[in-house]
Structures are given as C-alpha cells and as structure tokens.
C-alpha cells in the first residue's frame, strides 16, 4: 500500500512537470521571476513531505530559468537596417535582453532558441524581428522551430523582399510591408499554421520607404507594446543591448 501511494504521488508530479514543459505560457512568482507550475508543485510536495518528492524537486531545480530574448536581424551587408539597432536600444532601456544580428546567422539564432527552450523545460520565450533580408529569414527561423518542436511568442517582419509562407513556430506573426515600394512582399500561411498572421500594408504612408520603414518610431512603439503583451514587461534593472560582431555576408 505504501509503495502504491508513492507511485501515485510521483506519477502526479511527473505529469505536472511534463504539462508545464509543453505549455507556451508561464507564471510569475512574487519576486518577479518566471517559473513553471511543475517547479512550484515540486516545492509544495517537499514542504508537505510527499514520498519521493525531494528527488523530483532536485531534478526540476536543474531546469534553467532563462529570461525572454528579443533577436533583431539586419538586412543586406549588415550595414543597413540601422532601425534594428535603434529598436534594440529602446528595448534594452525597458529591461529586455535584445541582441542584433546579421541575417546570415539565422540558423544559429534558431539553434539558440531551441537550446534555451529545452534547457528551461519549454518555458523560455523569444521574439524575432527583422528588416529586408533580415525579414526574409524571420520566416525561415519560425519554420525551422516548428519542425523541431520550438516556437517564438512573436515574430515581426519589416518589408520582406520575397514572398514567404509560414508553416508554424510563431504564436503571432506580423508583417509590415509596402505593396507599392517595389520591394515589400506579403507573408502567407500554410494550412498547418495555427498562429495569428497579420499583413499590414503601409502603402498609404508616403513618408515611408523600404529603406526607412525599420526606423519609424510609431512602428517601434507598436512592436514594443506587442512584445510586452507576448512575453511580459522587461526586467526591473535595464539590460544592456548586446550587439553581435559584424560579419561579412555574401550578397
């Protein structure tokens, strides 16, 4: 009878751990940190003296708590798309971890997101934003994440230059583009996509072009608001903006 009771308790705890790992949302503790329901469940079980709970708590304790990460991706030659740097600085002032990358590194970004989500038991949240050629690879990243069981909370494209189709990997995908500037293209959704896709055509904004759409402060304000909705507010202490080392990319 005692063995059966222990087995039942461990089954419930392990079930809670797996469920928390699969969920795309998280809960915030009293000190402002993010922790999954399984972590709290294990702690409560230890306090209550549940048989076998201490071993599970030790396992859960090894799951890393990784803050949300916003990846911003530049376009051609890693010298244009300076609006990505400006937006990253605004995010850093609000306490977010924001890094700027060249579009040729999109595979490494996808790999890092997957690694962080696995290390955090599925609770890590990421946002990806790109302009021009950087906007093109935003779709590549979310599609790869979908294939590997990962996802981002929000993806934003600023005027992608080729038609793209999203198959999954993003709970929300927003595409700012101009259908009349000779560059911008729509993003379409595959039948497998279960997220929210929005194409916002800014053709009536005569002051915007392909080369400055990423710098518009009104669009930045919208994106910052969406990030807050998707992953929560930034840390209490502002984080520095980490700029990637420029690398040459073949045109």
> What pLDDT does residue 9 have?
38
Domain boundary among the residues 40, 61, 82 is at: 61
* 251 within a domain of the structure (yes/no): no
Report the domain count for the chain. 2
Is 177 within 8 Å of 151 (Cβ atoms)? Answer: no
Taking the C-alpha atoms of residue 158 and residue 220, their distance in angstroms, rounded to an integer, is 11
Q: Which tens digits make up the pLDDT trace of 227-247?
A: 999 999 998 654 454 455 444
57 and 109 inside one domain: no
Domain boundary among the residues 61, 87, 109 is at: 61
**How would residue 62 be classed by pLDDT, with cut points 50, 70 and 90?**
low
125 and 21 inside one domain: no
Q: Contacts by 75-78 with C-beta closer than 8 Å and gap 24+?
A: 75/103, 75/130, 75/131, 75/132, 75/133, 75/134, 75/135, 76/132, 76/133, 76/251, 77/248, 77/249, 77/251, 78/102, 78/103, 78/246, 78/247, 78/248, 78/249
CA distances from 131 to 70, 102, 192 (A): 14, 10, 25
| SS3 state at 40 | helix
Spacing of C-alpha 123 from chain mean position = 11
Taking the C-alpha atoms of residue 157 and residue 53, their distance in angstroms, rounded to an integer, is 45
**How would residue 19 be classed by pLDDT, with cut points 50, 70 and 90?**
very low
When mean pLDDT is compared across 3-17, 54-68, 185-199, 219-233, the lowest value belongs to 3-17
**Residue with the larger pLDDT of the pair 36 and 113:** 113
Q: Which tens digits make up the pLDDT trace of 152-199?
A: 999 999 999 999 999 999 999 999 999 999 999 999 999 999 999 999
* 250 within a domain of the structure (yes/no): no
74 and 56 inside one domain: no
172: burial class by Cβ within 10 Å (0-12, 13-18, 19+)?
middle
Q: What is the mean pLDDT of residues 18-38?
A: 36
Q: Which tens digits make up the pLDDT trace of 90-136?
A: 999 999 999 999 999 999 999 999 999 999 999 999 999 999 999 99
150 and 46 inside one domain: no
163 and 103 inside one domain: yes
Look up the domain containing 53 and give its range: 2-61
12 and 55 inside one domain: yes
Instruction: Give pTM, 2 decimals.
Output: 0.73
Share of the chain above pLDDT 90, in %: 65
Specify whether the backbone of 58 is left (phi greater than 0), alpha (psi in -120 to 50) or beta.
alpha
Q: What is the CATH number of the domain that holds 158?
A: 3.40.50.1820
């Amino acid at each position: 009878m005692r063995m059966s009771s222990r087995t039942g308790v461990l089954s419930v705890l392990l079930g809670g751990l797996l469920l928390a790992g699969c969920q795309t949302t998280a809960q915030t503790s009293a000190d402002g940190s993010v922790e999954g329901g399984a972590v709290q469940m294990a702690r409560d079980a230890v306090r209550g003296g549940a048989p076998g709970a201490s071993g599970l708590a030790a396992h859960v304790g090894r799951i890393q708590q990784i803050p949300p990460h916003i990846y911003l991706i530049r376009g051609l030659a890693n010298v244009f798309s300076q609006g990505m740097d400006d937006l990253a600085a605004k995010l850093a002032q609000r306490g977010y971890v924001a890094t700027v990358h060249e579009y040729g590194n999109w595979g490494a970004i996808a790999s890092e997101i997957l690694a962080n989500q696995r290390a955090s038991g599925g609770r890590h949240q990421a946002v990806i934003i790109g302009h021009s050629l950087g906007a093109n690879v935003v779709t590549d990243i979310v599609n790869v994440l979908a294939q590997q069981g990962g996802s981002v909370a929000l993806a934003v494209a600023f005027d992608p230059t080729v038609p793209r189709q999203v198959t999954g990997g993003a709970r929300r995908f927003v595409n700012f583009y101009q259908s009349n500037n000779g560059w911008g293209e729509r993003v379409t959704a595959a039948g497998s996509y279960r997220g929210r896709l929005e194409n916002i055509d800014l053709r009536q904004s005569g002051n915007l072009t392909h080369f400055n759409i990423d710098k518009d402060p009104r669009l930045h304000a919208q994106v910052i608001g969406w990030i807050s909705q998707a992953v929560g507010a930034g840390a209490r202490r502002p984080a520095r903006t980490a700029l990637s080392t420029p690398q040459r990319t073949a045109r």
